[in-house]
Amino acid sequence: MISYFKGILLSRLLVLILLFLAIRIPLILFNFPVSLSELKYMILGERLAAGATLYRDVYDNTAPLAAIIYQLLDVVFGRNILVYRLLASAIIFLQGMRLNSILNQNGIFAEKSFLPALLYFVFGSIFFEFDMLSPLLVGLTFLIFALNYLIVPSKEGSSNPKLFKAGFLIGLAALCYLPLMLFLLWAFMALIYFAFNAFRSSLLLLCGFLFPYAVAYTFFLYADSLPNFVQFNLLSAWSLYINMLLAPLDLIKILAIPVLFLSFSVFHAIINAPTLNYQLKFLQLMLWWVFVAVLVTLAGQTISAVSWLLFLPAAAYFGTYLFLRSGRLWITEPFFLVLLGSLLVIRYNFLLPSMPYTKINISHLLLQPNAKYRAVQNAHVLVLGNNLNYYAYNQSATPYLNWQLAKQDFGQLNTYYGIFKIRRNITVSEPDYIIDEVGLMQELTYKIPDLFSRYEKIGQDGIYKRVR
């Protein structure tokens, strides 16, 4: 298979597309359960499509450009999980083909091929989280498009638009997923390697990066949500808190093979570095990509299999370098087939018999089928707690979508300002039901009686219904 894709014939492109569809589409059409992350994206898009303003009427730390995409999807398709997953696959395909085109057009390898796209598609499909339309996935698209403007050796004056575009695209990436702004460090290294005047080029790059943020700053200023934009988005990603969404052992089961392959490919590239100066500079630049990707992973605060997306371009490049520089087909062909088979086993792991060494526990990442979450349906609700499962059958009624941010208000019930903010935010659109999972209703009823005394408890699951 490796030898077959060492070329750019149209027939090989068609086979590549069919292989990509064969890997990804079965799981998408299998009606795989909705994840809690996907539910959150749909709830956010639904709230914004109903006329709410991000950070003012919806408390969440999702970056604004990603939120706009979810809003547009809700306007056109509503809560359609199939559309979200098909669009995510389309984005992975676009990224792989664009990266492949950049590497071929700029002579990064001695011969043109579809190997970078092949490896990108294979390593970009190893787990169901890569089928999610996450902000990280969307932001990565802009980074890959920015790559082409940074690796072309520049001449003074002629490269000004390219450098501005590169910074602009990195700014758009950060507006999708804030930690991606750390790739400015990688872009500055690209300027050192390829730019004519590194200092002047850095200023152009920085101006391009700041332009989309100036637009966002102006919008939120006029929308009266600028302080929350700074607090919820710009400042929220730089704490030292890290949350593991998957158990460490499960994460190792998923990413052990890709990480080992990337590590071996990097080691091989360093030992067998290219002799051409331009190709050597690009290799060094991709080493910086791996380093910055590690920083972005740590800055993202949540670590899961989806974090591997940051390393996809590096895996595609170094993997291609490994296979092209190895002339022993009797080794590379079986090696790739074993690699492909192993990654497919990981992707379709849920179809395997339950065994301690292969089973991956993902139940806490998915919507729970518990009947208590269906006790309230087709209503506007407020959930006091981290549990998003209730929103699968209902709509969010208040700004308090993200409980980590909501606790900034509900944790100040002993202050007048905290009580004032809660009353103001909930009075605008009073929920039909309040689901109290943290035991705050008694205190809320005592301190804001005109609002919360309208709710009476029904059942034993902390559900309160508005009765007047």
Q: State whether the Cα torsion 125-131-135-141 is positive or negative.
A: positive
**What is the 3 state secondary structure string of 276-313?**
CHHHHHHHHHHHHHHHHHHHHHHHCCEECHHHHHHHHH
In a 13 Å sphere around the CA of 110, the CA atoms on its Cβ side amount to 10
> Which 3 state secondary structure label does DSSP give 149?
helix
> Which 3 state secondary structure label does DSSP give 302?
strand
* Residues near 313 by beta carbon (within 8 Å), at least 6 away in sequence: 99, 120, 143, 144, 147, 286, 289
Structure tokens at 74: 């809700």
Q: State which amino acid sits at residue 133.
A: L
Amino acid 194: pLDDT: 82
Partnered with residue 457 across adjacent β-strands are 464
Neighbours of 271 (CB within 10 A): 7
**Dist. CA 441–CA 398, nearest whole Å:** 16
Amino acid 154: pLDDT: 59
Q: Which helix (H) or strand (E) holds 176?
A: helix 160-176
In a 13 Å sphere around the CA of 242, the CA atoms on its Cβ side amount to 14
**Dist. CA 221–CA 234, nearest whole Å:** 14
Amino acid 329: pLDDT: 61
Please check whether residue 135 is in contact with residue 91, taking contact to mean a CB–CB distance below 8 angstroms: no
Amino acid 311: pLDDT: 96
What's the gap between Cα 18 and its chain centre? Answer: 25
> Can you give the pTM of this predicted structure?
0.93
Q: What is the dihedral of CA 308, 309, 313, 318, to 10 degrees?
A: 20
Amino acid 361: pLDDT: 84
Please check whether residue 124 is in contact with residue 96, taking contact to mean a CB–CB distance below 8 angstroms: yes
Q: State whether the Cα torsion 234-238-244-250 is positive or negative.
A: positive
Amino acid 159: pLDDT: 64
**Dist. CA 313–CA 171, nearest whole Å:** 19
What is the residue-level pLDDT of the chain in tens, covering all 468 positions? Answer: 787 888 888 888 999 999 999 999 988 888 788 899 999 999 999 999 999 999 999 999 999 999 999 999 999 999 999 999 999 999 999 999 999 999 999 889 888 999 999 999 999 999 988 999 999 999 999 999 999 998 876 555 456 788 899 999 999 999 999 999 999 999 999 988 887 666 788 888 999 999 999 999 999 999 999 999 999 988 877 766 777 888 888 889 899 999 999 999 999 999 988 878 888 999 999 999 999 999 999 888 788 899 999 999 999 999 999 988 876 666 778 888 888 888 988 888 877 777 777 788 888 888 888 888 888 889 999 999 888 999 999 999 899 999 988 988 898 888 998 899 999 999 888 899 999 998 899 999 999 998 999 999 987 778 999 887
